[in-house]
């Protein structure tokens, strides 16, 4: 015996591999945390279905192991003897026992329950390392075996073992890069736990998100068939584990199991098909959210309760707090004593073996996880943001806009790499639809990807936030088209009658001002009343050296509708499209003065003077380059994009009597002469508007942007002249009548998927 520990205890522990590197003294110290259990033949060590929570090591005796399957059949698996482990998973995850273990001969076993394991972690963390490593490998294998069977199909034992031996485990911390675009590819990865993001550079120096990849999905599978440089950059959205399969290993596998090669071929074909046929509706894969109060005065518990209720409309939700975790593992008393419970241990502490897999299990059991961070920064808060794929910072808009201690800690956590997606929620006063001064909250917050206004007590605001964060936002895209754009108002009336919420809006040309008016809270009837004076007096003629109109009426009219608000002040996320005439580039206005964005987006070349911008550049109508920005909306706001296109494919058709040369004086003379037939020719402004939109419209069709829309509406308003602004009510009615049936059908099909179901019903 070693310090009173029986030798057969030590031999059994050594045989398990739980303490391979431990010297005799440390092995005895580990053994002292176990207690002995004795069983007579026929007695049960554990029973399938009973609550678990402890680990057993067989010291003496033989154990019969049976599993009762779902169909009632009893399956006997190989028996256990000295040195065998029972309940490894139960020690970590708890839950029900998955098998029955019965003593066939007199048996002695060592038991380590969860409280004793926690105590061992606290007193002798160095002894936990071999134990945690062994259990980690066991749990890894149990998780990956199921994935491999789902991916490649059934293997015999030898084939499965060979495949497992070919895999290399890779751990990424949140924000860490897996590989960069241009790196040489020689294998592929499977995500086992966590999420990674796939991004590619854009022409303007930014980045575009191509995909978010979760458990049981491949990354870089093309490398299994051919080498070459990686075509995108991939990084971890949260702490993530993957397995790596080298191309050479896959080639060997394909020789012995050709079905694996067929699987990869089908996978690549499906991936290519998805690239060629973009989906009209996308759903984000972020399922784990860390809710971080910027300061201790934020009512984080109240907000999280509303957020949880919103998520519950879209599936099962588990809210995790430090107290919940410590109660689960029986360490809440340590927190009360100031020692810090299990939830507050550092992410690299041996206790991670107990907590990490349990958190992973919660993700498996629930559609969404909420990690509610503490009011002040803590070990739990750090763990929460490392496990979340989306960080939500919550601030009270009545407070000072400076970064709080918790927010600074989040920024510091990802200072050396990329962060998960970060959103800022500003809790606002109820009863308002605009929130001036928001830009002061966004200045100095380059780490924030998107911000949202949520009014206290407004359930609809929280549900809109949930739709945005889960990729279910309902977005409206309004195209340009002069007076035909009043059809947009009719579409809005249909949305209002059906109770369809609008979560984001954008537009080009007249669509920009309609979308901006919607975003400041105007309803369809009010919008029609407000816009008519603007467009009825839009053209103020001037000496046509730069443009036909001076643009003063457009400036005054736009400012009269939207005031001096900034885009970031709006309740509903909004952007407008303009064209940088200097650089032939598209400009997306997501921040800054709303009146400027709307004015620039509607600055039709030749009709209105271009708008000066930064560096001496000139901006003109957004319809010149992207008259229906479905693509931009789909990139910025995942979910269902409803687009309203009022620009017909065929327009400005004239009779054959129109001569090759034409005098404006002749056109005017025929207009005023009762004895002569007037020439059926479009006016100069209509020609300029159609010409400006022609290139954009052609590109729109050629690139099939419409395929990215969940619903594309084309109201029949082509018979209206683009300058028939005084016909606003009639055009709006035709927009209503011409789209209602399509919207009703679409809403009946997609309502439940977008709004979810009320858990109370």
Active-site residue set: 509, 621
User: What's the rounded Cα separation, in Å, for the pair 407 and 155?
Assistant: 48
What CA–CA distance (Å, rounded) separates 293 from 265? Answer: 47
Whole-number Å distance between alpha carbons of 525 and 733: 11
- The Cα–Cα gap between 103 and 109 comes to 10
- Please tell me the distance from the alpha carbon of residue 576 to that of residue 427, in angstroms, as a whole number: 25
C-alpha 243/C-alpha 253 separation (Å) is: 16
Closest CA to 34 of 129, 102, 127, 105: 127
H-helix segments, 337-420: 352-365, 379-387, 405-413
For residue 369 the two structure tokens come to 């996880």
- In degrees and rounded to multiples of 5, residue 499 shows phi and psi of 75, 30
Which helix (H) or strand (E) segment is 487 a member of?
Answer: helix 487-498
- 10 Å Cβ neighbour count for 560? 12
**What residues pair up with 241 in beta bridges, in sequence order?**
171, 193
Residue closest to 452 by CA, chosen among 291, 588, 312, 282:
291
Distance of CA 68 to the CA centre of its chain: 40
* Tokens found for residue 52: 């678990």
3-state secondary structure at position 176: coil
Closest C-alpha among 438, 394, 477, 425 to residue 713: 477
CB-based contacts of 231, cutoff 8 Å, min separation 6: 181, 200, 222
DSSP assignment of 192-247 equals EES-EEEEEE-TTS-EEEEEEE-TT-EESGGGGT--SB-SSEEEESSSEEEEEEEH
Structure-block tokens of residue 231: 């075509």
316 pairs with which residues across the strands?
none
Q: Which helix (H) or strand (E) holds 7?
A: helix 7-16
Among residues 627, 581, 608, 685, the alpha carbon closest in space to that of 480 is found at: 627
Cα dist from 343 to 174, 322, 333, 647, 714, whole Å: 18, 5, 12, 58, 55
Residue 67 CA to its chain's centroid (Å): 40
């Amino acid at each position: 015996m070693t310090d009173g520990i029986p030798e057969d205890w030590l031999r059994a522990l050594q045989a398990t591999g739980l303490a391979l590197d431990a010297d005799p003294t440390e092995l005895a110290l580990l053994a002292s945390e176990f207690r002995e259990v004795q069983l007579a033949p026929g007695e049960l060590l554990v029973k399938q279905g009973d609550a678990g929570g402890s680990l057993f090591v067989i010291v003496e005796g033989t154990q019969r192991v049976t599993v009762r399957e779902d169909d009632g059949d009893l399956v006997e698996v190989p028996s256990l003897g000295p040195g065998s482990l029972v309940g490894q998973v139960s020690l970590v995850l708890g839950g029900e026992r998955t098998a029955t273990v019965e003593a066939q001969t007199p048996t002695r076993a060592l038991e380590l329950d969860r409280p004793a394991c926690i105590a061992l972690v606290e007193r002798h963390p160095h002894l936990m390392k071999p134990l945690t490593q062994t259990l980690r490998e066991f749990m890894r294998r149990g998780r990956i075996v199921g994935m491999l069977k789902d991916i490649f199909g059934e293997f015999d034992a030898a084939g499965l073992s060979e495949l497992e031996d070919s895999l290399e485990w890779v751990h990424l911390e949140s924000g860490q890069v897996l590989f960069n675009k241009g790196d040489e590819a020689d294998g592929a990865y499977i995500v086992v736990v966590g999420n990674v993001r796939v991004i590619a550079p854009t022409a303007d120096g930014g980045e575009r998100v191509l995909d978010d990849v979760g458990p049981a999905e491949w990354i870089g599978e093309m490398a299994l068939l051919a080498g070459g440089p990686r075509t995108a950059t991939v990084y971890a959205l949260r702490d993530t584990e993957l397995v790596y399969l080298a191309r050479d290993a896959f080639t060997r596998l394909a020789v012995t199991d050709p079905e694996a090669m067929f699987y990869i071929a089908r996978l690549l074909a499906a991936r290519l098909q998805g690239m060629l046929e973009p989906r009209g509706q996308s759903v984000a894969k972020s399922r784990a959210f860390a809710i971080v109060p910027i300061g201790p005065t934020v009512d984080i518990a109240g907000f999280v309760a509303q957020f949880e209720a919103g998520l519950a409309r879209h599936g099962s939700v588990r809210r995790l707090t430090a107290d919940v975790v410590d109660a689960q593992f029986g360490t809440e008393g340590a927190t009360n004593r100031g020692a810090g419970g299990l939830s507050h241990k550092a992410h690299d502490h041996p206790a991670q073996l107990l907590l990490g897999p349990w958190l992973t299990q919660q993700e498996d059991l629930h559609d969404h996880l909420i990690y509610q961070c503490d009011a002040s920064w803590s070990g739990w808060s750090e763990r929460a943001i490392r496990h979340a794929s989306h960080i939500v910072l919550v601030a009270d808009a009545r407070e000072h806009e400076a970064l709080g201690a918790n927010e600074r800690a989040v920024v510091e956590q990802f200072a050396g790499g990329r962060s998960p997606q970060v959103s800022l929620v500003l809790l606002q006063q109820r009863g308002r639809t605009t929130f001036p001064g928001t830009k002061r909250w966004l200045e100095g917050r380059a780490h924030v990807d998107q911000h949202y206004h949520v009014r206290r007590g407004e359930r609809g605001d929280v549900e809109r936030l949930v739709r945005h964060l889960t990729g279910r936002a309902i977005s409206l895209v309004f195209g340009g088209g002069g007076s035909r754009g009043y059809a947009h108002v009719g579409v809005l009336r249909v949305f209002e009658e059906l109770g369809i919420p609008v979560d984001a809006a954008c537009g080009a040309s007249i669509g920009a001002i309609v979308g901006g008016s919607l975003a400041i809270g105007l309803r369809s009837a009010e919008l029609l009343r407000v816009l008519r004076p603007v467009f009825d007096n839009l053209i103020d003629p001037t000496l046509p050296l730069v443009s036909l109109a001076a643009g003063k009426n457009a400036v005054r009219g736009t400012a009269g509708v939207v005031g001096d608000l900034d885009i970031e002040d709006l309740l509903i996320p909004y952007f407008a499209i303009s064209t940088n005439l200097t650089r032939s580039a598209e400009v997306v206005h997501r921040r800054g003065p709303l009146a400027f964005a709307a004015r620039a987006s509607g600055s039709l070349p030749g009709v209105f003077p271009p708008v000066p911008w930064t560096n001496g550049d000139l901006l003109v109508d957004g319809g010149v380059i992207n008259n229906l920005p479905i693509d931009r909306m789909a990139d910025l706001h995942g979910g269902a994009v409803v687009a309203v296109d009022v620009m017909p494919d065929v327009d400005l058709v004239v009779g054959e009597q129109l001569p090759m040369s034409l005098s404006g004086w002749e056109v005017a003379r025929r207009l005023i002469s009762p004895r002569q037939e007037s020439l059926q020719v479009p006016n100069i402004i209509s020609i300029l508007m159609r010409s400006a939109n022609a290139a954009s419209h052609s590109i729109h069709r050629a690139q099939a942007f419409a395929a990215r829309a969940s619903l594309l509406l084309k109201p029949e308003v082509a018979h209206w002249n683009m300058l028939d602004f005084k016909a606003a009510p009639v055009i709006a009615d035709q927009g209503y009548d011409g789209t209602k049936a399509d919207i009703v059908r679409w809403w009946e099909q997609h309502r439940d998927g977008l709004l979810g179901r009320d858990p109370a019903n």
